[in-house]
Amino acid sequence: MERTRHPMLDSDAVDGVYFTPEDFTDDENMIAKTTKQFIKLDAKPQSEKNRPITRSLFEKAGEIGLLGIEVPEAYGGFDLGKKVAGLVAEIMGAAGSFSVSFNIHVGVGTLPYVYFGTEAQKGKYLPKLASGEWIGAYALTEPNAGSDALNSKTSAVLNKEGTGWILNGEKQWITNAQLADCYVVFGKTADGMTAFIVERTFEGVSVGPEEKKMGISGSSTATLILEDVMIPTENVLGEIGKGHHIALNILNMARLKLAFANIGTAKRALHLAVTYAKQRKQFQTALVDFTMTQEKLANMAVRIYGAESAAYRTVGAMDDALQSVESTEEFVNVVADYMIDCAVNKVNSSESLDYIVDEAVQIHGGYGYMQEYEVENLYRDARINRIFEGTNEINRLTIAKGLLKKIKKEKLWPDAGKGNSHIQALERQGDYLTKAKELVALSLKAVTPSFEKAIVEEQEYLRLLANMNIRIYIMESTLVRTEKAVIKNGELEEERKLLMTDVLCEEGYRHVQSAAISFVSAALTDEFDRDRMMKEIQDFSVPIYSNLFIKKRKIARSIIEGARYNV
């Protein structure tokens, strides 16, 4: 399966083809309501440290169908696709620690069987995982293999009879470790990394004590210990020596699922901040009436809108691409094609969440630091998201290296595409997007043949390149979403989306310009070339900057009055 474009580089803005949250059907929105009800009645009232109730929550989630969204109907699921799975993951982001346990189970704990399992493996494990009878986990990380996850020390040796594999090793920081009934475990064989299905009851399997964590205290995190564990040959998942295909591609999808959970948590934080700021008064004035508070609320809402637009754009495209997949090889090729997109969403959503929960605590003042207030818990829980599913540093390297590879192979940047919109109210934003793309294309001219070999080791340059492209992805996704909304409902009805898109594109361009200046000034050692290219950047003709303070006050007021983001 082959895609003729890369969404980071080739704009479909004029076609308006990207999937957006407004495209969900009434039936799909009913699933969202069911998820919200589950959180309100079952998951939310529970203490963040009350892990014993997690199994009953899984059973309840299984009963109402939330665990089988991506599981084929033949194995007890509903096969509703990744868009609906993303919607459920987003809503579940408001469920605290259970969101982590849930997403691990339905993601890396279940999808390896869906895409790489034999018919026998699917028939045995998927019905149990979809119903909540069994809980799944994924064991890749080791004490000395974190970001370098493929450098596994866990060994897998075929026994003398050839009837099974003997596993030895330790897997660290495994989510759901204490609760799981089955684990997808990666071990090194003579032919390379291989994935195995390990059941909790297998002899030699044990789990260490619960880790004492900064946040997500309600989720189980512990070490999985494997001591001469005999694994029958039928429990090899995928092909021997090709476990890296499972590890990398399932992690790509996990990053996207994590992005949705981050968005849901961010919406919850904004809702709490608005609610508190309405009630709290200082100097006889409600906090929401202070313009600096309004600026904070607007910035939070704008970042949510951008993250949401980008994540649904990606999941919609991936879902469509996977519809015609008929083999494991095709699946691997499609998911690998979205590696950059998934990394973009993971980085952007986790860093947006960090910013939003921090501002939510700030709005609460001293009360936000107290454990009796929910934002304190959100603040601690949020920090892990920049670390797991690949650190944001690793994901930035993935974005930059992947783009350089595609550019060299397909020569995409000279025809990077435009961002112009058919909607007059969006012309400025489209111009900002076009100019941002041109800035990145100009920056890449600084990658001379002599510098090209060195740049893969120069991580600061790769960070700047990744940051520029993250901004462009968010700008483009938001612009298309707003254009679709305005075409459907009119400018007056979608005033807030227009304002948020205006802020995102103008500020996005400023960030790209700043990064381009840093990139070019550092990459070019020849003073003449550097000065010439810097002048090109400075001579860029961009729309006149606007008064973003006024726009943000309008955004904040609409949020305060309408409470749109209330997960």
| Rounded Cα gap, residues 34 and 31, in angstroms | 5
Inside any domain, residue 100: yes
Same domain, 111 and 32: yes
Inside any domain, residue 358: yes
List strand residue ranges (DSSP E) for 201-240, in order: 205-207, 221-232, 236-237
Backbone angles phi, psi at 28, to 5 degrees: -70, -35
Inside any domain, residue 226: yes
Question: Largest Cα–Cα distance in the chain?
Answer: 81
Same domain, 287 and 148: no
Backbone angles phi, psi at 530, to 5 degrees: -65, -45
- What local confidence, expressed as pLDDT, does residue 552 receive? 97
pLDDT at 317 exceeding the cut of 60: yes
Average confidence (pLDDT) over 463-490: 95
The gap from C-alpha 566 to its chain's centroid, in whole angstroms, comes to 20
* Catalytic residue positions, numbered: 389
Average confidence (pLDDT) over 38-66: 86
Give yes or no for a contact between 219 and 48, defined as CB atoms under 8 angstroms apart. no
- What local confidence, expressed as pLDDT, does residue 421 receive? 63
- What local confidence, expressed as pLDDT, does residue 422 receive? 62
Indicate the pairing of strand 155-158 with strand 221-232. unpaired
Domain CATH code at residue 83: 1.10.540.10
Between helices 527-538 and 495-523, what is the axis angle to 10°? Answer: 170
pLDDT at 331 exceeding the cut of 50: yes
Same domain, 122 and 162: no
CB neighbour list of residue 305: distance below 8 Å, 6 or more residues apart: 478, 497, 500, 501, 504
Inside any domain, residue 218: yes
Angle at 168 between CA 164 and CA 172, to 5 degrees: 130
Give yes or no for a contact between 48 and 451, defined as CB atoms under 8 angstroms apart. no
Inside any domain, residue 205: yes
Angle at 403 between CA 238 and CA 443, to 5 degrees: 170
pLDDT at 534 exceeding the cut of 60: yes
Average confidence (pLDDT) over 163-185: 97
Same domain, 277 and 233: no
Ramachandran category for residue 563: left, alpha or beta (phi over 0 → left; psi -120 to 50 → alpha): left
Residue 7: pLDDT band (50, 70, 90) is: very low
pLDDT at 323 exceeding the cut of 60: yes
List strand residue ranges (DSSP E) for 72-126, in order: none
Inside any domain, residue 4: no
Among candidate residues 277, 296, 295, the one with its CA nearest the CA of residue 287: 277
**Structural domain count of the chain:** 4
The DSSP code for 197 is E
Inside any domain, residue 558: no
Same domain, 401 and 382: no
- Could you say which of 207, 237, 267 is where a domain stops? 237
| Rounded Cα gap, residues 405 and 184, in angstroms | 31
3-state secondary structure of 170: strand
| Amino acid sitting at position 154 | T
- What local confidence, expressed as pLDDT, does residue 523 receive? 85
User: Which whole-number Å values give the CA distances from 399 to 170, 182, 343, 411, 414, in the listed order?
Assistant: 30, 32, 6, 17, 19
CB neighbour list of residue 46: distance below 8 Å, 6 or more residues apart: 53, 57, 98, 218
Angle at 257 between CA 387 and CA 251, to 5 degrees: 60
The boundaries of the domain holding residue 528 are 396-546
Same domain, 454 and 389: no
Give yes or no for a contact between 376 and 370, defined as CB atoms under 8 angstroms apart. yes
pTM of the full predicted structure?
0.94
For the chain, what percent of residues have pLDDT higher than 90?
78
User: Which whole-number Å values give the CA distances from 261 to 31, 345, 461, 485, in the listed order?
Assistant: 16, 11, 30, 24
Ramachandran category for residue 345: left, alpha or beta (phi over 0 → left; psi -120 to 50 → alpha): alpha
Alpha helices in 323-456 (DSSP H): 328-337, 339-364, 374-382, 392-410, 427-444, 449-455
- What local confidence, expressed as pLDDT, does residue 15 receive? 43
* Mean pLDDT taken over the chain: 91
- Could you say which of 213, 237, 261 is where a domain stops? 237
Same domain, 336 and 201: no
Ramachandran category for residue 308: left, alpha or beta (phi over 0 → left; psi -120 to 50 → alpha): alpha
Residue 416: pLDDT band (50, 70, 90) is: very low
What confidence tens digit (pLDDT) does each residue in 105-148 have? Answer: 999 999 999 999 999 999 999 999 999 999 999 999 998 877 77
Give yes or no for a contact between 507 and 548, defined as CB atoms under 8 angstroms apart. yes
Domain CATH code at residue 380: 1.20.140.10
The DSSP code for 543 is P
| Rounded Cα gap, residues 98 and 375, in angstroms | 16
The DSSP code for 288 is G
Backbone angles phi, psi at 460, to 5 degrees: -65, -40
Same domain, 250 and 385: yes
pLDDT at 5 exceeding the cut of 80: no
What confidence tens digit (pLDDT) does each residue in 270-304 have? Answer: 999 999 999 999 999 999 999 999 999 999 999 99
pLDDT at 350 exceeding the cut of 60: yes
Domain CATH code at residue 227: 2.40.110.10
Same domain, 428 and 357: no
Token output for 438: 């041109």
Inside any domain, residue 11: no
Lowest mean pLDDT among 24-33, 385-394, 446-455, 528-537: 446-455
Same domain, 214 and 288: no
Same domain, 179 and 104: no
CB neighbour list of residue 503: distance below 8 Å, 6 or more residues apart: 298, 302, 548, 551, 552, 555
- Could you say which of 81, 116, 135 is where a domain stops? 135
Alpha helices in 490-526 (DSSP H): 495-523
Backbone angles phi, psi at 547, to 5 degrees: -85, 90
Among candidate residues 48, 395, 369, 390, the one with its CA nearest the CA of residue 213: 48
Question: How big is the chain by its Cα radius of gyration, in Å?
Answer: 24
Same domain, 254 and 372: yes
| Rounded Cα gap, residues 350 and 255, in angstroms | 10
